[in-house]
Amino acid sequence: MKSTPKLNLEKSLALFEEAKQISPGGVMGIRRPYNFVEGEYPVYINRGYAGHIIDVDGNDYIDMLCAYGPIILGYHEPEINRAVIEQMEKGFCFSLVQPVQNELIKRLIDLIPSAEMGLLVKTGSDATGVAVRIARGYSGKDKILRCGYHGWMDWCVEVPGGVPQKVRELTLDFPYGDLETLEKLLQENKDEAACIIITPVGHPLGQPVSAPPQGYLEGVRSLADQYEVVLIFDEIRSGFRVAMGGAQERYGVTPDLTTIGKAMANGYPISACVGKAEIMKVAEDDVFISSTFFPNSLEMVAAMKCLDILERENVIDAVWERGEKFLEQLKKIVGQSKVPATVSGIPPMPFITFDKADEHYKNRRICFYTNTIRRGLFVQPYHHWYISYRHTAEDLENALQVIAEALQVVENDYPV
C-alpha cells in the first residue's frame, strides 16, 4: 500500500502565514499545526455538515474530532439553529437574566445525579474554575488534588509559563486508576486539601482512553469522604456522551460537584457547574463568580433544544451502539496488522496509540496520521476521537477502511 498524494492546502497555509503576523502563534493552543502533522493538515475550516468538515481549499473530511468534543449531533443542526434565531429576535444579552436560565438549570438537576443546584458559565475552563473556587470556599482549604486535563486556568494549566510558582504548588497530580497515590497525597495534605478533581473516564494527553477500572471511582469517593474533601467529577467530555447523566450515572458513583459542557449545546458555548446545594450555596455570598456574558440566552436555548433531541432520538444509545461496532472492527484491523499499536477507549470515544516497541514509534504515528488525513479522515494524534450522531454507517465504514490502509502504509514503511 502506497502513501496517498499530499492534499492541496494552499489557501489554508497562506491564511496561517498571515495569521502569524497578527496573532501570537497564528492560532491558539491545540489548533496549532504542530499538534497534528505540520504541513499535512488544514488550519482553516470553511464549513461543516452532518459528520463532515470542509476546509478552505475544498477538501472534505469525515470529522471524528468533532471540534474537540462539542459536536454530539452534527454540524449545522437546523432545529437548534431555528430555536436560537427565534431567541435572537427577542434579544439575548441583557443586564438581567432571562427565564430560560431557570428552565435549563432545572433540567440539569433532573438529569444529573449530583445536581441539586447549578451555575451556567461559558467554557470548560470556566466550569472547572468555578468548581474549584466553590470547593475552596466551602472547605476553607487551598490545595487541589487533580487527575486529568481540566483547562487553562492557573491552577491546572499544563504549561507553567506565566503561572506563579506559589500557585503551581497548590495543585498536586495523581495518576488515573491509582488509589494508593491518591491516598498518600490525602494523608500528606489532610489539613490543606480542598478537593479532588478527576475525569471519571481517563483521557490523559496522547495516552490510551480508559473506562474506570473496577472499584476505582468507588474508591475515590470513599477516600474523599474519609478525608472530608470535596469530590469533583470533570465531565466536560463525558457529560451527555457517556450517559445523559454523565459517567456518574453509567458507573453509579455520585460526586459532590460536577462540571459539564461540550456536548450540552452541540457547539454553542455553554458549560455548567452543578452539585450539592450545601456546597454550591457558598457562591451566594462567600465566593464571587460573575461575567457579563454568563447569562446570555442563545446558548441556553441551544442547550435546551439539543437536550430535547438527545432524549427524543435516544442519541446516546445510538452512539454507543455504533461505537461498540466501530471499536470491535478497529481492534480487529489493528490486531491483524503488524503495527505495534493499541486500541483503547469507550464506544463514544475511541483511540489508537502507537506502542514504544522501538525507536520508530513516533515515526509510525506521524505516518499513520499523514495517511489518514490524506484519505479524508480527520483525527488527531494526541487527542481521542469521537463518534457523533450524524456519522452514518457509511462514514464509519469509510473511516475504518482509511485506518486499515494507513496502517498498511505504516507497516510497509516502518516494519518491526
What count of Cα atoms within 13 Å lies in the side-chain half-sphere of residue 367?
A: 23
Neighbour-count burial for 160-199, b at 16+ CB within 10 Å, e otherwise: eeeeeeeeeebbbebebeebeebbebbeebeeebbbbbbb
Helix (H) or strand (E) holding 54: strand 52-55
Torsion angle of alpha carbons 360, 364, 366, 371, nearest 10°?
150
Across-strand partners of 243? 239
CA distances from 98 to 176, 215, 288 (A): 40, 42, 21
Instruction: Look up residue 5 and give its amino acid.
Output: P
Across-strand partners of 197? 146, 232
Which grid coordinates belong to 95?
443586564
The Cα 347–Cα 286 span in angstroms is 41
Work out the end-to-end distance of the chain between its first and last CA atoms, rounded to an integer number of angstroms. Answer: 17
Torsion angle of alpha carbons 92, 93, 98, 102, nearest 10°?
90
DSSP 315-329: HHHHHHHHHHHHHHH
CB 254 within 8 A of CB 358: no
Instruction: Look up residue 283 and give its amino acid.
Output: A
Q: SS3 for 257?
A: strand
Domains contained in the chain, CATH given: 10-75+315-413 (3.90.1150.10), 78-312 (3.40.640.10)
Give the pLDDT of residue 29.
Answer: 86
Helix (H) or strand (E) holding 248: helix 247-251
The Cα 25–Cα 21 span in angstroms is 9
Give the pLDDT of residue 206.
Answer: 66
Mean pLDDT, contiguous 10-residue spans, the chain (416 residues) = 87 97 93 92 98 98 97 97 98 97 98 98 98 98 96 92 95 96 97 97 79 96 98 97 97 98 97 98 96 97 98 98 98 97 95 94 96 97 96 98 97 93
pTM given for the model: 0.96
Which grid coordinates belong to 295?
447569562
Which grid coordinates belong to 150?
481540566
Q: SS3 for 8?
A: coil
E strands, 251-328, are 257-260, 271-275
CB 12 within 8 A of CB 59: no
Residues in the chain: 416
CA 170, 176, 179, 180 torsion-angle sign = negative
Neighbour-count burial for 58-90, b at 16+ CB within 10 Å, e otherwise: ebebbbbbbbebbbbbbbebeebeebbeebeee
Residue 80 φ/ψ, nearest 5 degrees = -70, -45
CB 108 within 8 A of CB 118: yes
Residues 6+ apart with CB under 8 A from 347: 319, 320, 321, 322, 323, 324, 326, 327, 387
Instruction: Look up residue 113 and give its amino acid.
Output: P
Radius of gyration of the chain (CA): 22
